[in-house]
Amino acid sequence: MAVPDNQNAPTEEQMRVLINKLSAYIEQFHGGSVEFIALEGNALKVRLGGACLGCPLLPSTLHGWVEGTIKQFFPSIESVEDVP
C-alpha cells in the first residue's frame, strides 16, 4: 500500500488516502466499509459500515485491522474510534 511517508504528523488528506485503500480492501473481501470522519490531533475517528454493522467481529476489525494499519504508517496516531 503506497502512502506518503510523513509518519510524524499525518495530514487529513494522507489519512483519507489510507482509509480509502483500507475501505476498498474491506469491501472487496468482507463486504464492510470504513469511512474517514475526522482527524483530531492524534485521534482518528472513522465510521464502519456495510457488513461490519452488527458483526460481532467489529471490534477486531476496528482495532486489529484498521487501527493496526493506521499505526503502521502513522505511529503518532494514538487512537482510532468508530463513531455512529
**Residue 35, exposed/middle/buried by CB under 10 A (0-12, 13-18, 19+)?**
middle
Residue at 4 is within a domain: no
What's the predicted TM-score (pTM) here? 0.84
Residue ranges, the chain, pLDDT below 70: 1-8
- The range of the structural domain enclosing residue 33 comes to 12-82
State the total domains in the chain: 1
Residue at 37 is within a domain: yes
Question: Residue holding cell 470522519?
Answer: 37
Residue at 57 is within a domain: yes
Residue at 52 is within a domain: yes
CATH number for position 55: 3.30.300.130
Residue 21 DSSP SS3: helix
Beta strand 43-50 pairing with 79-82: parallel
Residue at 6 is within a domain: no
Q: What is the pLDDT of residue 84?
A: 86
